[in-house]
Amino acid sequence: MLLTPNAIGGFTPYTPTVAGATSGGTLGNGTANTDYMVVGNMCVVRFQIIFGSTTSFGTGGATITLPIPANAVNPPDLGSGLLLDASVPTRLVCVAEIDTVNRFIMVTTAGAVVAGTVPWTWTTSDEVRLSLTYRI
């Protein structure tokens, strides 16, 4: 079957919840340019967060909610993205990994889970950009 743009539908905006695995975390006055599209039994997410002065990943590894619960986490569906430190500037590649059916974490190529001070202390204008496709 050939899927046309009208058959697939468009992207739908969503506002993710940003949290720390241990405590805290908030989007605060940051900007979320996030949306998703459902194609069959797959969800495609386009994701960008630009940190504001009150944005925080909290303590512990950063977790971010999915727009629609995932079908399963074994094996985990993965996405890829960039972490951008605006003050240096520095770019690092990351992997987005679904760790529960409702959220994902980000892991650097060095294997560290992204957190409030990993891979750097996140501040105003820092960004996370990624895309993720997973089963629903």
- Rounded distance between C-alpha atoms, residue 70 and residue 62, angstroms: 18
What single-letter amino acid sits at 12? T
What single-letter amino acid sits at 41? N
**pLDDT tens digits, 50-106:** 999 999 999 999 999 999 999 986 677 889 999 999 999 999 999 999 988 899 999
**pLDDT tens digits, 91-110:** 999 999 998 889 999 999 99
What single-letter amino acid sits at 74? N
3-state secondary structure labels for all residues of 89-134 = CEEEEEEEEEEECCEEEEEECCCCECECCECCCCCCCCEEEEEEEE
pTM of the model: 0.87
3-state secondary structure labels for all residues of 8-37 = HCCCEECCCCEEECCECCECCCCEECCEEE
**pLDDT tens digits, 115-128:** 999 999 999 999 99
